[in-house]
């Protein structure tokens, strides 16, 4: 356990500030992304799906705003899946025992991803059918 933040110094207890903190943030983000790629089949499937969708946006005759929105919703879906995977990892870390609250947490994460995918479908439908 890390000691509490020193009062009034503005320093982080881990001692990383400035460029060092930014560099370590990038490394931690890469590690989290790669852990998700290695351990979550759903995330790998979404990477393929959204990779294809993103590539298609550059082939279609779209306005810059339409392309930006279509790209953004794909990134949002990937972001939601990263958070869903994090929720599942934390729940599993706490206990592998079946518990209603654990089920709720995992189901809510899954529901968030379903809403994100509905958003992707809705945006694509509106842009392509308008």
The catalytic site residues sit at 81
How distant, in Å, are the alpha carbons of 47, 59, 76, 129 from that of 124? Answer: 17, 14, 14, 8
d(CA 116, CA 120): 6
d(CA 57, CA 29): 26
Three-class secondary structure of residue 3 per DSSP? coil
How distant, in Å, are the alpha carbons of 65, 80, 124 from that of 129? Answer: 16, 26, 8
């Amino acid at each position: 356990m890390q000691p509490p933040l020193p009062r009034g110094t503005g320093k982080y207890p881990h001692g990383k500030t400035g460029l060092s903190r930014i560099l370590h943030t990038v490394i931690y983000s890469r590690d989290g992304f790669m852990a998700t790629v290695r351990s979550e089949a759903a995330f790998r499937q979404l990477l393929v799906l959204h990779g294809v969708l993103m590539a298609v946006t550059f082939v279609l005759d779209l306005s810059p705003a339409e392309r930006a929105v279509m790209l953004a919703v794909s990134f949002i879906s990937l972001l939601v899946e990263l958070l869903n995977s994090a929720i599942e990892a934390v729940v599993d870390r706490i206990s592998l025992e079946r518990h209603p609250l654990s089920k709720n947490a995992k189901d809510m994460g899954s529901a968030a991803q379903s809403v994100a995918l509905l958003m992707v479908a809705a945006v694509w439908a509106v842009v392509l059918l308008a």
